[in-house]
Amino acid sequence: MKWTQATVRSSHFRPAQVLVVGFAALIVVGTVLLMLPIATADGSIPAFSTALFTATSAVCVTGLVVVSTASYWSLFGQLVILLLIQIGGLGIMTAATLIALLLGRRIGLRERLVIQQAMGGASLAGLVRLTKGVLVATFLIEGLGATLLTIRFAAQFPLGQALYYGVFHSISAFNNAGFHLFNTSLVPYVADPAVNLLIATLFIVGGLGFIVIADLYRWRTHRHWHLAVHSWLVLRVTGLLLVLGTVLVLLLEFNNPGTLGPLPWPQKLLAAFFQSAAPRSCGFHTVMTNQLRPATLLLVMILMFIGASPGSTGGGIKTTTFAAVVMNLASIIRGKRSVVINLRQIPGEIVERAQVILAISLSLVLGAAFLLLTFGQGTFLAVLFESFSAVGTVGLSMGLTPQLTSAGRFVLIVAMFAGRLGPLTVATALAGPSHEGVRYPQERISVG
């Protein structure tokens, strides 16, 4: 983290570049640690592609795996994965800020600019205070989740194992990582309300975004505080997607013998809710994904693409991006020139940014799918599903990822990396500085 702080101070790096370099450095460190013999259950040295893929998936809080987390990795390896999930979920600069604060170091303007980029465009005012709040909220929520999950798992496992399972799955869920220590994710707990609701609450709250969590806290503790338009939009889009997703999954899978079919009515509703919530960026599942009907798989891909909210532990294009694009489309159809949300006009540059993010993200998904199909990695549906999951940093899989060759793994590694940082952030980091010194005459072209 000292290296990250020094990198931020360097005048040669823009905020987007610092984030890219920081995440890449963390992946390299994680890969090295996972390649140690002590990291595997049998003491062998894993293949480089296995260690790199696992480290990338953990840092990018995705959850796609090429080997079983529970059986392939030792306790040391699992703890490395858990640490990578925690740092990746918090963000490189948030973790670096924590160390700087503990050491009593001052957070300069350059560090604040990078934190602003990582937080999804939060104001520079009160940014360090917000970062402190992020850290406190994270550890409090994860601690509460770990305690409740430990109580539940204690009825099934010895106390020490229950505690470890509670901590691991609480951190994995809140950070929207989807890593688990069971052979088939949470399928054995499909009828367990405690596990379903606890895990779902953790990844839904983690996916709201730290800015929204802080705004909700102020709204609850200050009588005259009004939610920001950003928070208002995030909460409504999240609620709409949860309700609509639950209803559609329930209708599509109601009689499917491989998923909801054998379950009684209350458990069908619980499983439908979990399957509609998890694709928003968390790779846990309580029914087998490869048993879902094609229409449901398409719905899941759409939910994975939308993802969580800005400044959160989740991925995807983000709920506000989706809302801005849809509302802009509605405004254009109605002949209006601006997007208005909750009696507030959204700046044109924000709408343009949302459209760019949508275009780049969709191009990344299609590019990853094209390369995987070119390399002969699987069927069209499985490849497309895995590509959406990687770019959305979700972690749901139809079973293709463990079968990938080294070339296929590398494609998904790049997709997960770009998806976690944000395709626009990566593009900005790779692009040179902009120069707008020349303006040319305008001329119309025909479109549509």
CA 11 vs. chain centroid, Å, equals: 30
3-state helix, strand, coil in the chain (%, to 5): 65, 0, 30
pLDDT tens-digit readout, 271-322: 999 999 999 888 899 999 999 999 999 999 999 999 999 878 888 999 999 9
Amino acid identity for residue 371 in this structure: L
Q: What is the pLDDT of residue 5?
A: 47
Amino acid occupying residue 23? F
Q: CA angle, 396 as apex, 169 and 194 as ends, to 5°? A: 40
Query: Quick check: 423 and 361 in contact, CB under 8 A?
Result: yes
Q: Any bridge partners for residue 345, and if so which?
A: 340
CB atoms within 10 A of CB 432: 5
Whole-angstrom distance, CA of residue 220 vs CA of residue 360: 37
CA distance linking residue 335 with residue 413, whole number of Å? 42
Position 10 confidence tier, pLDDT thresholds 50, 70, 90:
very low
pTM listed for this prediction: 0.90
Question: Residue 20 has what pLDDT?
Answer: 83
Domain boundaries, the chain: 1-123
Q: Is the pLDDT of residue 196 over 90?
A: yes
State what percent of residues in the chain have pLDDT above 70: 86
**How does pLDDT run across 66-123, given as a tens digit for each residue?**
999 999 999 999 999 999 999 988 875 566 555 555 555 555 555 555 555 555 555 5
| Amino acid, res. 384 | L
Of 297, 296, 278, 298, residue with least CA distance to 286: 278
Which of 4-13, 178-187, 310-319, 335-344 is the least confident region?
4-13
Rg of the Cα atoms in the chain = 22
What local confidence, expressed as pLDDT, does residue 12 receive? 59
- Average pLDDT for residues 170-184, to the nearest whole number? 94
Q: Given a cut of 80, is residue 209 above it in pLDDT?
A: yes
Per-residue confidence (pLDDT) for residue 3, from 0 to 100: 42
The pLDDT of residue 13 is: 61
The pLDDT, as a whole number, for residue 224 is 78
Mean pLDDT of the residues in the chain: 87
